[in-house]
Every structure is written in structure tokens, then in C-alpha cells.
Amino acid sequence: MNRTIEIQDLGNKDYKDTWDYQEELFREILDLKIRNRRENLELETPNHFLFVEHPHVYTLGKSGDFSNLLIDEDKLKEIDATFYKINRGGDITYHGPGQVVGYPILDLENFFTDIHKYLRFLEEMIILTLAEYGLKGERSQGETGVWLDVGTPFARKICAMGVRASRWVTMHGFAFNVNTDLGYFDHMIPCGIKGKAVTSLNVELGRPHISMEEVKSKLLHHFTELFEASVSDKVDL
């Protein structure tokens, strides 16, 4: 089993270009797994983790409801945002500047074959990172992602998640609000859940800006510990 993960920081990159790149890496792993089975080979499958920051974009998961986007095409142009219907799970979400987005493209057969455990580990990575900033991140029953003050009238989401998996290969991932302009969430019903607020790390800490590089470093540390993984020498953070 190959538990080495190649990390790439793509910087600020268009959503569609990043989605295409994810699909390319995803397909390469799938094709290698299919070849291994057909030809009775044992070639190692790679694992990837992409960090990226997107320009303003709304994405709708395959089971999502389009009515959860509350604005039309003209308003999208006005606020300099785009919209895509995509092939991950979950409903609608927003990506934009100041948000750490992570796309692990893993062959889970290198780690464990349990998609629910995979999602819980992604949540735990965020929870452990929040703890380093003195915040108590929590899970909300039946709602994937990470929240603060669950079970109170002040519950608010700080990290959204949505993944796709095929033959135990994953893509898509998480969106962690760090220095995010929360006004963009007013144009949608976040994750299709009415009456729940969103927040970001800088708002919770009362600081104008949190180092994105620092956050990514903490996330990667917890990710590799949870998955008992190592990082390749090609790290670009």
C-alpha cells in the first residue's frame, strides 16, 4: 500500500480548470487500478492532495436543488461569480478568495475502504485545526461538515464538504472559511440547510486576517497523522 501523498498548492485557480485537473488525476488512478486487476499486476497507485483558492464560484452537487441558488445569471455577473453543476455529493456551496479549499484524490485502498470514515477523518482534520486556534469545532448529526455551537440558536458552519468516490478513489473535498467574504453566502441557502448561519476563522477570532499558509500547514499536519501518511518531496506550500 502506498501511503505517500503528493501535495500541490495551485494558488488562485479557476474552478473549472481545477475540476478538469482533478478529473485527470482521478482517471489516472482509476485506469491504473483497472489495469492492475485485468493484468494481475500490483503497481502502486498514487495519492494527491490539492490546495487551491478559487475566484467567486457557486457549485451544486448532483443531488442538489437549483432553487438553493437565490440569484440569477445577471446577478452572478454583477458580483463577478460563476456557477457550475458538478459531480460531487451534497447540495450548493460557495468558493472564493480567503477560503482554503482542499481536494484529496486518494486511492482509499491504500488506507481503508470506508467512505464514512474518510468523511469523519476530513472533519476531524478541521476540528483539530480549529482547536489550535482555541475554537471548538463540532459535527452536526446528519449534516456533513464542521460547525460551531451545534445544538444552540447560534449554530454556524465553518467548513463545508462534498466528495465523489469510485472504486475507492476520491475527489472533491472541503472548503474551510478562513478570511472569506461571508456576504457571498447571502446569495444561496448554504448546503440546502435553511436557518443556519456560516462563519469564518478570522470572524471567530476577531482578527482582520489569518495566515492562509499557516492554516494549510496545520491542516496538512493533522491530515497526515490521521491517515498515517507521509508527504512526498514535491511539497509546494
CA proximity to 14, closest of 50, 53, 51, 49: 53
Q: What is the DSSP letter of 183?
A: G
State how beta strands 169-177 and 99-105 pair.
antiparallel
Give catalytic status of residue 191 as yes or no: yes
d(CA 57, CA 24): 21
Taking each helix axis from N to C end, the angle separating 212-226 and 115-132, rounded to the nearest 10 degrees, works out to 140
Cell numbers placing 159: 467548513
- The active-site residue out of 122, 191, 212, 220 is 191
Check: CB of residue 171 under 8 Å from CB of residue 161. Answer: no
| Residues with a known catalytic role | 191
